Amino acid sequence: MSNKIELLKSIVAKAQHIVVVQADNPDGDSLGSALALEHILGDLGKTVTLYCGVDMPGYLQYLTGWDRVQNQLPNTFDASIIVDASTLSLLEKLQSSGELGWLATKPCAILDHHEKVENIVPFAQVIINEHTRSSTGELIYWLAKELDWTVSVAAGEGLMTAILGDTQGLSNQLASADTYTVMAELVASGVDRPALEERRRELSKMPATIYNYKGLLLQRTEFVVEGHIAVITIPQTEINSFSPLYNPAPLIQGDMLQTIGVQVAIVLKHYADGKVTGAIRCNPGYGVGAELAEHLGGGGHAFASGFKVTGKAYPDVKADCLQYCQQLLSALPTSN
């Protein structure tokens, strides 16, 4: 067993109450991993509190237990495990609430799989970040094996959701042979993928107003740089009207990537306070997402990444994003 895994084992062994922390960008991997840890650690006799500074997105609310995630740290706890993020930049809610210092006083372990990380959480006692893993969920599965932790069917549902989220249903390049092995073992242990899928589909149905709004977004999409980049901007008025019902980016980003010639799909949100966020998705062969997001102060994976810019004019952010994206694409060996 590696030193890092020994350290994780001892942090868990010494703690009775463990907080599982998701960063400010929760997704299927972070929530699935957190719920899985809640079950795994619970089965070890631990008390587990789930924390995330932002609300769980609607599309994840088919997962049993999503409503146990709270947005405040408990008054007492012994240790924390941060899942699916290693950067301090994504723990802004804890910083602004003043709770980060409180978290830092307790032993902290990080379980992650993000390749390029800046501004690493400085108080973590152990960081297990394996970027060959498709997802934090997959990493947790292997760690549980190594540590002889029981993965119940309930825990397995979380891990499967985590894996399917980051691999887009095992369809992207993050899914390795190991990933399939984990999926097979989870199915063998009793996790019902079709049932999970049906719950997800039922919850992700859109209201008719969103269906019509999608039509507007499709019409407004710009295809630039010889049609290689699809980009759209969502203004504050539309964020107000539609975001509570449905997140606009996943509504159209798949269609953008399904347009002939498109290599990168970018959804920008322009907020009234000047903030600009970007969700970047790339087609196979054009994985410039991580580098593009980093250029704009964000991060993520090659094929899915995001950024947030404040204090800069929206047209400048957009121009910078498109220009740098073009530069990255033209530097790719497969391009031209």
Binding site for Mn ion (CB under 5 A): 29, 84, 135, 166
- Cβ atoms of 241 and 216 closer than 8 Å: no
Residue 138 Cβ vs Mn ion, minimum distance, rounded to whole Å: 9
H-helix or E-strand containing 309?
Answer: strand 304-309
- In sign, the C-alpha dihedral spanning 161, 162, 166, 167 is negative
Residue 50 Cβ vs Mn ion, minimum distance, rounded to whole Å: 16
Residue 30 Cβ vs Mn ion, minimum distance, rounded to whole Å: 7
The Cα 87–Cα 64 span in angstroms is 27
Q: Which is nearer to Mn ion, 276 or 306 (CB)?
A: 306
- Cβ atoms of 21 and 136 closer than 8 Å: no
Residue 23 Cβ vs Mn ion, minimum distance, rounded to whole Å: 10
Q: Which is nearer to Mn ion, 46 or 133 (CB)?
A: 133
Assigned token pair, 236: 């504050």
Q: Which is nearer to Mn ion, 111 or 229 (CB)?
A: 111
Which residue, 75, 63, 79, 62, is CA-closest to 20? Answer: 79
Residue 84 Cβ vs Mn ion, minimum distance, rounded to whole Å: 4
Residue 123 Cβ vs Mn ion, minimum distance, rounded to whole Å: 21
Residue 98 Cβ vs Mn ion, minimum distance, rounded to whole Å: 27
Q: Length of the chain, please? A: 336
The rounded Cα 273 to chain-centroid distance in angstroms is 25
Q: Which is nearer to Mn ion, 225 or 249 (CB)?
A: 249
Distances (CA, A) of 328 to 154, 221, 262, 308: 42, 21, 14, 19
The rounded Cα 156 to chain-centroid distance in angstroms is 18
Q: Which is nearer to Mn ion, 29 or 157 (CB)?
A: 29
Angle at 196 between CA 190 and CA 197, to 5 degrees: 130
Partner residues linked to 129 by β-bridges: 112
Position of minimal CB gap to Mn ion: 29
H-helix or E-strand containing 37?
Answer: helix 28-43
Q: Which is nearer to Mn ion, 87 or 326 (CB)?
A: 87
Assigned token pair, 119: 């501004």
Q: Which is nearer to Mn ion, 282 or 329 (CB)?
A: 282
